[in-house]
């Protein structure tokens, strides 16, 4: 019925990690986005959203994160008509240097300040809103 997707707003030294999605990706190929991926069926589990996000971040950009905090959730329909529930978490960078580890999913990585993200015309409004919300959680 729904695809459940999780994304991480990863903060390190007052900058956010963004990826340029691979042009091979069916949804939003070539666009800047947060790191994340789909929840997979993996038996009965607890903390499935958090475990999925940590796994996806490590698989796609090779870093570990901690201190996950809920930012928000949204619903959208992909270009191919799939219904997606998307959950965003603010995450602290724990270890590793981010790089495009999974080239089928990530073309490049970059660290940007909140101001750089908010003033970048290439970045979609929903991503800017997620960063603004995640920024508020850091101050708490």
pLDDT tens across 42-99, in order?
A: 766 789 999 999 999 999 999 999 999 999 999 999 888 899 999 999 999 999 999 9
Residue with the bigger pLDDT between 107 and 9: it is: 9
- Cα–Cα distance measured from residue 108 to residue 78, given in angstroms and rounded to the nearest whole number: 22
Per-domain residue ranges for the chain?
Answer: 3-138
* Assigned architecture for domain 3-138: Alpha-Beta Complex (3.90)
Q: Is the pLDDT of residue 24 over 80?
A: no
Residues 47, 101: contact at Cβ < 8 Å?
A: no
- C-alpha distances (whole Å) from 103 to each of 13, 73, 99, 108, 128 are 26, 27, 10, 8, 25
């Amino acid at each position: 019925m729904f695809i459940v997707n999780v994304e991480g707003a990863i903060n390190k030294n007052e900058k956010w990690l963004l990826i340029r999605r691979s042009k091979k990706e069916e949804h939003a190929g070539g666009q800047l986005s947060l790191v994340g991926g789909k929840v997979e069926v993996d038996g009965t589990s607890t903390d499935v959203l958090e475990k999925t996000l940590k796994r996806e971040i490590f698989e796609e950009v090779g870093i570990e994160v901690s201190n996950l905090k809920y930012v928000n959730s949204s619903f959208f329909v992909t270009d191919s008509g799939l219904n997606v529930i998307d959950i965003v978490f603010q995450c602290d960078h724990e270890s590793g240097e981010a790089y495009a580890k999974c080239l089928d999913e990530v073309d490049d990585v970059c660290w940007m300040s909140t101001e750089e993200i908010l003033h970048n015309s290439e970045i979609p409004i929903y991503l800017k809103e997620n960063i603004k919300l995640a920024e508020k959680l850091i101050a708490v």
